[in-house]
Amino acid sequence: MGHGHGHGVSSGSARHLGRLWIAFGIGAAFMGLEFVVGFATGSLALISDAAHMLTDVLGVGMALAAIMLARRARTGGSRTFGLYRAEVLAALANAVLLFGVAGYVVHEAVGRFGNPPEVPGLPVVLAASAGLVANVVAFFLLRDGAKDSINVRGAYLEVLADLIGSVGVLISGAVTLIFGWRYADPVMGVAIGLFVLPRTYKLAASALRILFQHAPERLDVAEMKADLSRLPGVAEAHDLHVWTLTSGMEVASAHLTTRDLVDPAEVLRAAQVLLAERYHIEHATLQVEPGDSAQRCREISW
């Protein structure tokens, strides 16, 4: 038996910790500004946008908490995989939060069509402009990290949704200020909700895929099994499992049945190289076994 793994491997989220902290600070500051101006002017649109930014701050905060929890935890004892799955749970919580907010925005916007409230345009435009600047900065801070980590992607989608919300509030405020059209606010609310919901669904599906331990979407498990079976000295590859621990950390395990008079160490090294170079899996636990032991593995019902 043996295993192969790289050194210094960290989760995708941890590599962007500094940018998450900056995005959290910016979001919290401008959220406070929007709440203060919103309550001072009685602008429901601005208060709603501030509430939406609150979900943004909470989302980034949950991402940070999950990363810190995963980094503090050490494998050993009962935590054989550490607490990296906390990052995935945070991403799923972000998706649930976004579903709730988007649904609420659409519900409230539809309700306002009957009697749209009067929204003061100028303070809404000024405060929404400040919020937009904050969200643009946070958006660019998290954009690269969203490609590496489902956890950062959750925070990124929070920021993206809030950025779209700020643009919407800015447009509706300008329309109200210039034309006095009260329907601008509910129309924009529906548009924002419809924009957020599909992206939130995709985030939730990705998190659930990891939690249910499905193989990564990029991998063809049947092809991987065939490649392992074709290695020199291997008679059969079976009991192959591939899953994602958290974003950027994919692992695999497999049994390799060898032919007679084959060096198990050579088979192990060849399999490790195959998985690392062709499939980019640095951590693989491989059991190299003689041909007469394969039947025992097949007898396991699950």
Classify residue 42 as left (phi > 0), alpha (psi -120 to 50) or beta. left
Classify residue 261 as left (phi > 0), alpha (psi -120 to 50) or beta. left
Of the ranges 49-63, 108-122, 156-170, which is most confident? 156-170
Mean pLDDT within 233-262:
89
Mean pLDDT within 113-120:
72
- In angstroms, the CA 141 to CA 112 distance is 35
Q: What is the pLDDT of residue 8?
A: 41
**What residue ranges define each of the domains in the chain, with the CATH number in brackets?**
2-211 (1.20.1510.10), 221-298 (3.30.70.1350)
pLDDT confidence of 233, banded at 50, 70, 90?
very high
Beta strand pairing call for 249-258 and 234-246: antiparallel
Q: Give me the chain's average pLDDT, please.
A: 79
> Whole-model pTM above 0.85?
no
Mean pLDDT within 242-255:
88
Closest CA to 172 of 46, 295, 87: 46
216 compared with 88, residue with greater pLDDT: 216
Q: What is the pLDDT of residue 4?
A: 47
Q: What is the pLDDT of residue 72?
A: 66
Per residue in 178-193, pLDDT (tens digit) is: 887 877 777 777 777 7
pLDDT of 251 over the 80 cut:
yes
Per residue in 134-149, pLDDT (tens digit) is: 888 888 877 777 777 6
Mean pLDDT within 273-288:
93
124 compared with 296, residue with greater pLDDT: 124
Mean pLDDT within 151-170:
76
Per residue in 18-65, pLDDT (tens digit) is: 777 888 888 888 888 888 877 777 666 667 777 767 767 777 777 777
Asked if residues 140 and 159 have their Cβ atoms less than 8 Å apart, the reply is no
